[in-house]
A and B are shown apart, each in its own frame.
Chain A
Amino acid sequence: SSLFVFDHKLTLKTCGTTTTLFCLEELFRVVKEHLDWNFCQKGKVNPYKVFYSRRCFMFPKKQQGIHQNWDDETQYLNKFFSNGKSYLVGRLGQANHWSLYVTETNRDLDGQDENFDGSEEDDDENDDDDDDETLEMLMTGLTPSRASQFVTTREPGQPVESDTDDEGHVLGAQVTEDTQLDRIYDNVEGVSFQQDAFAFTPCGYSANVVMDQEYYYTLHVTPEDGWSYASFESNVPVTKVSGGTQDNIAVMERVLQVFGPSDFCLTFFSRRSHNDNFAKLKKLTDRVSNYTRKDKIVYQLDDYHLLYLRFERN
Chain B
Amino acid sequence: TVSLNAIPSPSYIDRELSANLDSTDAFEGPEKLLEIWFYKNSSCVPDNAKTLRSIDFSTWVRLLQLVKCQVLSMKQTEKMNAFLLSE
Q: Tell me the A residues contacting B by CB distance below 8 Å.
A: 1-23, 26-27, 30-31, 34-37, 39, 47-59, 62-64, 67, 109-112, 129-130, 136, 138, 140, 156-160, 163-170, 173-174, 177, 192, 194-198, 200-204, 206-208, 210, 213-214, 216, 220-222, 224, 227-231, 233
**A2-B85, A30-B63, A196-B10 known; A58-B30 Cβ under 8 A:** yes
**Residue with the highest number of chain A CB atoms closer than 10 Å, among B22, B66, B80:** B80
Q: Tell me the B residues contacting A by CB distance below 8 Å.
A: 1-8, 10, 13, 15-16, 18-24, 26-46, 48, 50-55, 59-60, 62-64, 66-69, 72-75, 77-87
Set A16, A17, A48, A167: member contacting B38, Cβ < 8 A:
A48
Set B21, B41, B62: member contacting A8, Cβ < 8 A:
B41
- Contact between A1 and B69 (Cβ–Cβ < 8 Å)? yes
Q: How far apart are the CA atoms of A158 and B18 in the complex, in Å?
A: 10
- Contact between B2 and A177 (Cβ–Cβ < 8 Å)? yes
- Contact between A168 and B82 (Cβ–Cβ < 8 Å)? no
Tell me the minimal C-beta distance from B55 to chain A in angstroms.
5
**A169-B4, A231-B31 known; A16-B82 Cβ under 8 A:** no
- Contact between A47 and B36 (Cβ–Cβ < 8 Å)? yes
- Contact between B4 and A8 (Cβ–Cβ < 8 Å)? no
- Contact between A210 and B80 (Cβ–Cβ < 8 Å)? yes
Q: How far apart are the CA atoms of A249 and B34 in the complex, in Å?
A: 25
- Contact between B63 and A35 (Cβ–Cβ < 8 Å)? no
> Which residues from A are CB-within-8-Å of B48?
35-36
- Contact between B4 and A227 (Cβ–Cβ < 8 Å)? no
Set B33, B43, B80, B84: member contacting A111, Cβ < 8 A:
B43
> Which residues from A are CB-within-8-Å of B41?
8, 111, 129-130
Q: Which residue of B lies closest to A27 (CB)?
A: B63
Q: Which residue of B lies closest to A53 (CB)?
A: B33
Main secondary structure of the interface of A (DSSP, over half): mixed
Tell me the minimal C-beta distance from A234 to chain B in angstroms.
13
> Which residues from A are CB-within-8-Å of B30?
15, 54-58, 138, 229, 231
Q: Which residue of A lies closest to B17 (CB)?
A: A168
Set A4, A59, A169: member contacting B73, Cβ < 8 A:
A169
- Contact between A63 and B38 (Cβ–Cβ < 8 Å)? no
> Which residues from A are CB-within-8-Å of B51?
7-8, 35
- Contact between B67 and A12 (Cβ–Cβ < 8 Å)? yes
- Contact between A198 and B79 (Cβ–Cβ < 8 Å)? no
- Contact between A35 and B50 (Cβ–Cβ < 8 Å)? yes
> Which residues from A are CB-within-8-Å of B85?
1-3, 14, 206
**A58-B28, A165-B3, A170-B2 known; A216-B82 Cβ under 8 A:** yes
Q: How far apart are the CA atoms of A20 and B15 in the complex, in Å?
A: 24
- Contact between A54 and B63 (Cβ–Cβ < 8 Å)? no
